[in-house]
Amino acid sequence: MSRSTDSAAPGRLRRLTLTAVPPLLVLLVPMVLVSLYGSRLPDRAFVENWATNLKYAPTWDGWLTGRRWSMVMFEAVLLLSFLSCWRVPQAQRGVVAVSFATFASLTTSTVLELTALLDAPGPVARPAWHLAAEVAVTVVAGALGYRAAGPVPAPPEVTAAPPPHEPAMALGPHQRVLFVTSAWSVRRLVFAVVLGALAALSVGNGSGAWQGTALLALWALFETAQARTSLQIDGSGITVRATWLPVLRRTAPFSLVRFAEARDQAPEGRYKLDDSPAGWGVVSGKGPVLALSLSDDRWLVYSTREARTAAALVNGWLSRQRQAGTA
């Protein structure tokens, strides 16, 4: 049986470097700007929320100190996120994209705000195009970061048939497979409502930092889109998709599946449509789950009452294909 030791190793150092460097640049850019143009700036840092809370606006040195602490915390969060998905290259690409997008957003905002304050006696109104420019740069930078992280290493393919003790459906040489089921997640719906409420509250408070509000809103939509999911098993493999957002889908080809089994509960770990060290899939509360052992030592799981039938169908397909290949 083919087993993977660490499929994330190729390119991991590259992805780690690309995660760690952008927050350092977020610190460097404002320091350089204040150093170069300090004599042309107001005596107080009328930037970000301090443009409205004039009474408490810090000095430029105080503002830079606050940013240092913020970036140290952000760097720590990024690195911890990267370490938590040490063996999951797809998730690491996502962390790199977040690092790039945050760097671009904060840096663009800083450059625009500081240049607008040059030779100004106090705070100035920010032009409407600043926000549009920040959003555009953020989206482009996130895409560039995802691309710069490089391709995801391909997991090894499996050639051995499932173990004989696993349930397997006998399939004729010309029979096709098709299995479809769906599931709801009330927990995701409730979580999405909470996130949406927090996003609405942040708008009502008149915060000048749009990034947090946008993140909460997108997170709420992402959770809502995954509240109803479906599982389909056919000749192309095992596909899990979000019913309300069909583009949100993942397919595990049969070549990456070792075997399938029905379990009373999912293997220990976190399972969503995005990757985690344990694997991916949909677990909607207690009850039986279809658990697929993947070639990268992780699991694909899906909650369904027909878990045993689905497992037998997958194992039957794998046995027929692989035994025919070795005949």
Q: What 8-state DSSP symbol labels residue 59?
A: P
Query: Between vectors from CA 76 to CA 132 and to CA 145, what angle results, nearest 5°?
Result: 45
Q: How far apart are CA 12 and CA 92, in angstroms?
A: 8
pLDDT classification of 221: cutoffs 50, 70, 90: confident
More confident residue, 85 or 327: 85
Per DSSP, the residues of 131-160 read HHHHHHHHHHHHHHHHHHT-PPPPPPP--S
Question: Residue 209: what pLDDT?
Answer: 63
- What share of the chain has pLDDT > 70, as a percent? 93
Question: Residue 325: what pLDDT?
Answer: 59
pLDDT digits (tens, 9 = 90+) for 74-91: 899 999 989 887 877 888
Which token pair is 187? 């927990």
Contact between 323 and 310 (Cβ < 8 Å) = no
pLDDT digits (tens, 9 = 90+) for 94-151: 999 999 999 999 999 999 999 999 999 888 888 889 989 999 999 999 999 999 999 8
Q: How far apart are CA 100 and CA 104, in angstroms?
A: 6
More confident residue, 253 or 214: 253
Question: Residue 185: what pLDDT?
Answer: 83
pLDDT digits (tens, 9 = 90+) for 306-324: 999 999 999 999 999 888 6
pLDDT digits (tens, 9 = 90+) for 240-276: 998 888 777 889 999 999 999 999 999 988 888 777 8
Q: How far apart are CA 124 and CA 108, in angstroms?
A: 17
Question: Residue 326: what pLDDT?
Answer: 56
Spans of all domains in the chain: 12-148, 156-183+229-327, 186-225
- For the chain, state the CA radius of gyration: 25
Q: CB 104: neighbour CB atoms within 10 A?
A: 23
Give the pLDDT mean for 288-313. 93
3-state DSSP assignment of residue 184: strand
Give the pLDDT mean for 159-185. 88
Q: Strands across the sheet with 228-234, in order?
A: 179-184, 228-234, 237-242, 245-252
